[in-house]
Structure 1
Amino acid sequence: MAGILMRSQAFNDHDRLPDRFSRDGGNVSPPLEWSDIPAEATELVLLVEDRDAGRTPFLHWLVTGIEATSGGVSEGENPPGGRAWPNGFGTAGWGGPHPPMDDDPHRYFFRLYAVNRPLELPGAPQPPDVHATLRKLELASGNMVGTFAR
């Protein structure tokens, strides 16, 4: 399967996310850039989850319907053409990192998927729902990881 290249002007892969992206520090979504999207992709899906939050990953950001030709998203913005779904905090859009105090740093997985048709998801999808649907539709994916502790 092909790979999508992801990067950010705000943090490097496996580096600490700046405080302004955290729930306590401004709750602003980070800027992201992507390339190498397959020509047959009709849309992109962005999924950000904390896989260290417990048995079920905590959903921080889910956006579907992103324009396949978009190339990225600016800080504090919703990706072009995208529909922001409810995050684990119950609000649509970005929900910044907020791990328990004094926990080891949590890892926040930023994953971008290229698909060839819209995802059919339940009203308040959880990461396992999204992953199950994507397994059937994924043309390519890319990821980067940010860390955060309080």
Structure 2
Amino acid sequence: MPRKAQLPHESLPEVPSFELRSDDVAEGERLADEHVFDDWGFSGRNRSPHLSWSGFPAETKSFAVTCFDPDAPTGSGFWHWVLFDVPAEVTELATGAGTEDAKVGVHARTDYGTKAYGGAAPPPGDPHRYVFTVHALDVETLGIDSDVSPAVAGFNITAHTLARASIVPVYSSSS
């Protein structure tokens, strides 16, 4: 069995956590087809999951929401969702909120090349982990635009993270 890739936050400076919950996804559980890609031979609905959070630091000025697959066979993982500049008063995203015409925050390009949530689409084989993370940030805006790469967005998110919380469901195209 191949060795699992490191989770994206394991090599970053430690920060406090807070409560992150979802009506749609759960730690270690299989992603529903609703959150799977809708192309490349997949018949999902490509909808981002519901996320709700609380208990973040009082000094939080905005949030970022990301979804990353560390198990993608790329050597660098795969970014499925990068949303930032979410106002501090927003503490919940409804199912399907990760569209290109999202009403809250700014979407950066994903590794699909779109500025929206892109669902799971792993090659056949072992299940992949999908790390949904909400980052509590110390700035109202990151000062970047939607054309940045996920790596540049991630650099800026990490530089301003006060706390983060994650949920890690799984998905396999074989299951």
TM-score, with normalisation over the residues of structure 2? 0.78
Q: In structure 2, what is the Cα distance between the partners aligned to 1:76 and 1:86?
A: 17
Give the aligned partner of residue 133 of structure 1. 156
**Deviation string for 1:108-150 (max 9, x for gaps)?**
0011111111224473312x43333233211111111010111
Correspondent of 2:148 among 117, 124, 140: 124
Answer 1 or 2: which has greater strand percent.
1
Number of the residue aligned with 1:143:
166
RMSD: 1.7
Structure of larger gyration radius: 2
1:25 paired to 2:44 = yes
**TM-score normalised to structure 1 length:** 0.90
Deviation per CA, 1:41-74: give whole Å up to 9, x if none: 1100011111001311211000001121212100
Query: Which stretches of structure 1, 4 residues or longer, exceed 6 Å deviation after superposition?
Result: none
Structure 1 residue 95 and structure 2 residue 118: aligned?
A: yes
Are 2:22 and 1:11 equivalent residues in the alignment?
no
The aligned residue for residue 104 of structure 2 is 81
CA contact (8 A) 1:66 1:80 kept: no
1:58: which partner in 2?
A: 78
Gap regions ≥5 residues in structure 1: none
Q: Which ranges of structure 2 fall in alignment gaps of 5 or more residues?
A: 1-14, 38-42
Query: Aligned residues: percent identity?
Result: 28
What are the Cα deviations for residues 73-127 of structure 1, in whole angstroms up to 9, with x where unaligned? 0001147631112211111111000001x2210000011111111224473312x
- CA–CA distance in structure 2, aligned partners of residues 41 and 125 of structure 1: 24
Give the residue type in structure 1 aligned to 2:19. L
- Distance in 2 of aligned mates of 1:66 and 1:18: 25
